[in-house]
Structure 1
């Protein structure tokens, strides 16, 4: 059960400081208030644009900073001062946000999932300011020694279907992928040798976006019970793919990335077609595991009118709290250089809000992708309503010294 916190105040109490219950204090940790000169940390989000609304990320970051200042002594004992910037998913605004962070003398930046991550990153990389990303697919970012990502760059589209096939004793992975450059790099360049090394046959089916009837393209998997079919695309693409598999009579294992499953998918696809699908999960939305109890308690205690069911909000918490966790042992002067060194020196720790995932940012999770801090990811199996059930960590292993 979620812990709900009674926040009340009296006439002589600062209304901005919540009153915690004993239960909440147990979850949030002992009081350890930051003091002294603030440390500036940047938070960048796409915020609200014509196509998305991730503005909840700023509210989550603010609540997270208040919790950390109150219970974790801020950064090096000093309070966190947030410096925020909204990109509106515009590349030029993304670059401007990066430059603003430099101008305002931040020591590090946390970036939620962003359509313009590379635009934000470039000026910060040039200025040697460390950046913690929720996830990064750009090879430039992944190879940058001052950048870090709390999402396994290979899990969602590569490791998940491979591990699933192995667990079920299957011999083949068939990827049904939306035919756009951003989605095809892993599927056509990285997946084939990876699957071959794992002893699995591999088939790639590229389908243009906007294809309503995929039955012709999916005929090749009809009756194939030796393969995991893994779908990569947005919800409208996935709706057509799932219904296409149903039309050709495919009865094997179907899996997909988390972006496939939305309310639109649940309305357009019969429940019996969704039931049993294994879905990659970027964050564990909902649930009663300790990481969810922590997240909900932080938001209930230090936030106001924040939707705890928002995956983008949870993603910001994982990213920002992950950055702060990596700085728990920092001492002395706090600069971009010392922050980068502290992040790299951190021993492996549990990633806050991530249902048991661990992280370590010493560049050895995947040596060819220095920014990666996590091995493995989360999966969940859908019920008959297309809703996630229990979240499980898959493909995780210790990151070496």
Structure 2
């Protein structure tokens, strides 16, 4: 099944706000999670940071921070980025040896403030613009790209972010998420799988087009059930989707739809195996469907918060040193990852560190390990997902959900 570019654009636009929360973390769009964080990271090791300061003139790097909006405000993304920048400058040897000057601009997930940020970045002549994830990438990217500034996002949402030659979308996004579902279904020995997908902008059709070959390759039959936006009670659709007695189910939607669909699943077939995307693990969702429906299920993530891998230990250590109030399993990870990913991708720059050399380094970098990514790597040469050439990886992580709704014992998929 083929979808035209305009239809892909509509699907991508509709899931923009949901994708912002989906991609960054299970708790990224929640409120006060300090007690949950303390329980989740209890006993996870940290380490002393090395003494490797950067030197020379700083490289100005723009950072898009989602703060102050009426619908969503995620200051922890900025806190994670600032912590990562301090680590790069004091302990990590800099970007090609030079320190980062992080130029933060706060925007409220609407075009006016996003446009102002983009123009500010151009005026301040930053060498790159970083975004952990925003629904306003389609506003910001054309402005900064017009000034020759590369745009690097952890989680691309807009059509421009996913296809522009001036953009690098480091994480796997929707293709990687659906691929991870197929891998989880195969690992669990499933033969039939039902995916409930929010149907705004043709997302259901897009999920079917992407998912059918991935699930077929995994030896699993996929059924996609579209859920209309704002449907008051999805129970009849859920009942129909479960009528074939699938071995597993998942939901791609905003938190409210996740809650209503999974609540109906629990009523209709509580024993069916479940695969959760991050937004469906928001405390506002798990509080409605109950942790008993979550614990022991499979979770999809792009961040390894809790393991003993050196990059995960480093992540916790950097937050402990430079952002001690930030939630380890929350939105701070996205800001941290995008800053350190840029440092890793540009490590081989020789000579001047500027917009042109950063853009060249991004396109040349191959197999760069995602910080705190559990072994995920990215390569930004357009080959990961050819139909969306700015996506730099097909890989995600799957793992069993613990009693804090955090995936553990992670495995790389894709």
Question: Which residue number corresponds to residue 387 of structure 2?
Answer: 368
Give the C-alpha shift of residue 105 in structure 1. 0.7
Q: 1:346 to 1:213 in 2, by over 3 A?
A: same
Question: Which residue number corresponds to residue 12 of structure 1?
Answer: none
Which sits farther off after the overlay, 289-298 or 209-218?
209-218
- Greater helix share, structure number: 2
Alpha-carbon separation, structure 1, partners of 2:376 and 2:111: 31
- Partner deviation per Cα, 1:232-277 (whole Å, 9 max, x = no partner): 1222211211121122225332213110112222221133322332
Give the C-alpha shift of residue 188 in structure 1. 4.3
Which sits farther off after the overlay, 179-188 or 241-250?
179-188
For the pair 1:390 / 2:408, whether they are aligned, the reply is yes
For the pair 1:379 / 2:398, whether they are aligned, the reply is yes
Give the C-alpha shift of residue 282 in structure 1. 3.7
Contact 2:179 2:211 in 1 (8 A): no
Which sits farther off after the overlay, 268-277 or 253-262?
268-277
Give the C-alpha shift of residue 42 in structure 1. 0.8
Q: 1:154 to 1:295 in 2, by over 3 A?
A: same
Of residues 66, 73, 87, the one that matches 1:53 is: 73
For the pair 1:64 / 2:84, whether they are aligned, the reply is yes
For the pair 1:317 / 2:320, whether they are aligned, the reply is no
Which sits farther off after the overlay, 94-103 or 313-322?
94-103
Runs of 4+ in 1 over 6 A off after TM superposition: none
SS of residue matched to 2:341: helix
Give the C-alpha shift of residue 156 in structure 1. 4.9
Give the C-alpha shift of residue 386 in structure 1. 5.5
Of residues 267, 273, 279, the one that matches 2:287 is: 267
Question: Which residue number corresponds to residue 344 of structure 1?
Answer: 363
Of residues 180, 186, 198, the one that matches 1:166 is: 186
Of residues 90, 94, 99, the one that matches 1:74 is: 94
- Partner deviation per Cα, 1:293-325 (whole Å, 9 max, x = no partner): 21121122233x431335211011111110111
Contact 2:62 2:102 in 1 (8 A): yes
Of residues 315, 332, 341, the one that matches 2:351 is: 332
Give the C-alpha shift of residue 56 in structure 1. 1.8
The root-mean-square deviation of aligned C-alpha atoms, in Å, is 2.4
Alpha-carbon separation, structure 1, partners of 2:338 and 2:409: 19
Greater RCO structure (CA 8 Å; 6+ sep): 2
Give the C-alpha shift of residue 61 in structure 1. 1.7
Question: Which residue number corresponds to residue 302 of structure 1?
Answer: 322
Alpha-carbon separation, structure 1, partners of 2:317 and 2:147: 36
For the pair 1:120 / 2:140, whether they are aligned, the reply is yes
Of residues 112, 115, 124, the one that matches 1:92 is: 112
Contact 2:129 2:150 in 1 (8 A): yes
Alpha-carbon separation, structure 2, partners of 1:225 and 1:275: 22
Aligned pairs (5 A) from 1:126-145? 126-145=146-165
Question: Which residue number corresponds to residue 357 of structure 1?
Answer: 376
Contact 2:63 2:129 in 1 (8 A): yes
Question: Which residue number corresponds to residue 271 of structure 2?
Answer: 251
Question: Which residue number corresponds to residue 205 of structure 1?
Answer: 225
SS of residue matched to 2:292: helix
Give the C-alpha shift of residue 104 in structure 1. 0.6
Unaligned runs of 5+ in 1: 5-22, 397-401
SS of residue matched to 1:314: helix
Contact 1:222 1:250 in 2 (8 A): no
- Partner deviation per Cα, 1:186-216 (whole Å, 9 max, x = no partner): 3244334554565543322122344453321
Aligned residues: 372
Give the C-alpha shift of residue 286 in structure 1. 4.3
- Partner deviation per Cα, 1:20-43 (whole Å, 9 max, x = no partner): xxx503xxx4x3322222211111
Which sits farther off after the overlay, 225-234 or 33-42?
225-234
Alpha-carbon separation, structure 1, partners of 2:178 and 2:291: 26
Question: Which residue number corresponds to residue 63 of structure 2?
Answer: 43
Q: TM-score, normalised by structure 2?
A: 0.82
Question: Which residue number corresponds to residue 16 of structure 2?
Answer: none
Contact 1:40 1:83 in 2 (8 A): yes
